[in-house]
C-alpha cells in the first residue's frame, strides 16, 4: 500500500469505523485486556496499580499480591508498610497503597465486599476514575459503559481521524458516537495492539498496515 500523504478527502469516521474494527479484529484476534486477573476485584486492583506503570510490571507483582490479599476485607485491614513493600516496583507506591486500602474499606462499607457494577458506584471508590471503571466494567462484567482512552488510543484515533480532541473525556465522547456500543470494550484493545505492532509513535509501518487506505494521514503525521 502507498505511504504517500493522501490529499483526497476520506470518508467520514462513521463510514470507516466498521471496516477499521473488522480489519483490526482479524489482524489481532488475541486482543484483550493484558492485565492478569481472575475476578472483578483482582482486575480492579491491577488497574489501580497500572497507573504510570506497564501492564507487564503489574503482572509481575499481582500474583503475590492476590495470594496475600484475596478479599476486599484483606485490603481494608492491610498493614500499609507490608502492602507498599509488595507493590513498590509499580511506582507511586505510597499513593497506590492508600488507594488500595481505601478501595477495600469502601467496598466493605458500601457494597458488602463486592465490586459494584455501575459507573457511578465504581467512580465513588477511592483510586477509581472513569478510565479504571471502564476497564473493570467492560473486561470483568462485559458491560460496555464507555471507551478506555490511554496514550495508544489517543494517538491512533487522532491519526485515524476519529477525533480532533486532546482531552480524554472529549476523545471518549467522540469515540462513543462512532464506535458501536458492542465494541466499546474491544476497541481500545485493538488500538493498543495496533499501536505496539504497527502504528508506532516514531516510525509507523504504514506499508504493512491493514487500515492504511482508511487512514487520512498515512506516514504517521498526526492531526
Three cell numbers at 179? 464506535
Contact predicate 18/183, CB 8 Å:
no
pLDDT digit string, tens, across residues 144-189: 999 999 999 999 999 999 999 999 999 999 999 999 999 999 999 9
Q: How many angstroms separate the CA atoms of 87 and 100, rounded? A: 10
pLDDT of residue 9: 63
Contact 156, 191 (CB under 8 A): yes
The arrangement of secondary structure in 13-32+147-214, i.e. its CATH architecture, is: Orthogonal Bundle (1.10)
* DSSP secondary structure code for residue 68 in this structure: H
Q: Give the model's pLDDT for residue 10.
A: 74
Please list the alpha-helical segments (H only) found in 28-141.
40-49, 55-68, 72-76, 80-87, 93-111, 119-122, 130-140
- Residue 57: the pLDDT is 97
Q: How far is Cα 32 from Cα 169, in angstroms, rounded to an integer?
A: 22
For the chain, give every domain's residue range: 13-32+147-214, 40-140
Q: Flag residues of the chain having pLDDT under 70.
A: 1-9, 218-223
CATH code reported for the domain at 40-140: 1.10.340.30
Asked if 195 and 3 touch (Cβ cutoff 8 Å), the reply is no
Rg of the chain on CA atoms, in Å: 19
Residues annotated as part of the active site: 131, 150
At 203 the pLDDT is: 92
Helices (H) and strands (E) in the chain, counts: 11, 0
Residue 220, pLDDT score: 46
Say if 13-32+147-214 and 40-140 have the same CATH topology.
Answer: no
Global pTM value:
0.90
Nearest to 41 by CA among 110, 122, 120: 122
The pLDDT of residue 218: 60
The rounded distance, in Å, linking the Cα atoms of 220 and 160 is 10
Torsional sign, CA 82, 60, 88, 115: negative
- State the pLDDT at residue 222: 44
Angle at 132 between CA 81 and CA 20, to 5 degrees: 145
Amino acid at each position: 500500500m502507498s505511504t504517500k500523504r493522501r490529499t483526497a478527502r476520506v470518508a467520514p469516521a462513521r463510514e470507516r469505523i466498521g471496516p477499521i474494527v473488522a480489519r483490526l479484529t482479524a489482524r489481532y484476534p488475541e486482543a484483550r485486556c493484558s492485565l492478569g486477573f481472575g475476578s472483578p476485584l483482582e482486575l480492579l486492583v491491577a488497574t489501580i496499580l497500572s497507573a504510570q506503570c506497564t501492564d507487564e510490571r503489574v503482572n509481575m507483582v499481582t500474583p503475590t499480591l492476590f495470594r496475600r490479599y484475596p478479599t476486599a476485607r484483606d485490603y481494608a485491614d492491610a498493614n500499609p508498610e507490608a502492602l507498599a513493600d509488595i507493590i513498590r516496583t509499580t511506582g507511586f507506591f505510597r499513593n497506590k497503597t492508600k488507594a488500595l486500602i481505601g478501595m477495600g474499606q469502601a467496598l466493605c462499607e458500601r457494597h458488602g465486599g463486592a465490586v459494584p457494577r455501575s459507573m457511578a458506584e465504581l467512580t465513588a471508590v477511592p483510586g477509581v476514575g472513569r478510565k479504571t471503571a471502564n476497564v473493570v466494567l467492560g473486561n470483568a462484567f462485559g458491560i460496555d459503559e464507555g471507551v478506555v482512552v490511554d496514550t495508544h488510543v489517543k494517538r491512533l484515533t487522532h491519526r485515524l481521524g476519529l477525533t480532533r480532541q486532546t482531552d480524554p473525556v472529549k476523545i471518549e465522547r467522540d469515540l462513543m458516537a462512532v464506535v458501536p456500543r458492542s465494541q466499546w470494550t474491544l476497541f481500545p484493545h485493538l488500538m493498543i495492539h495496533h499501536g505496539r505492532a504497527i502504528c508506532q509513535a516514531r516510525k509507523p509501518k504504514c506499508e504493512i498496515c491493514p487500515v492504511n487506505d482508511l487512514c487520512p494521514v498515512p506516514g504517521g503525521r498526526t492531526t
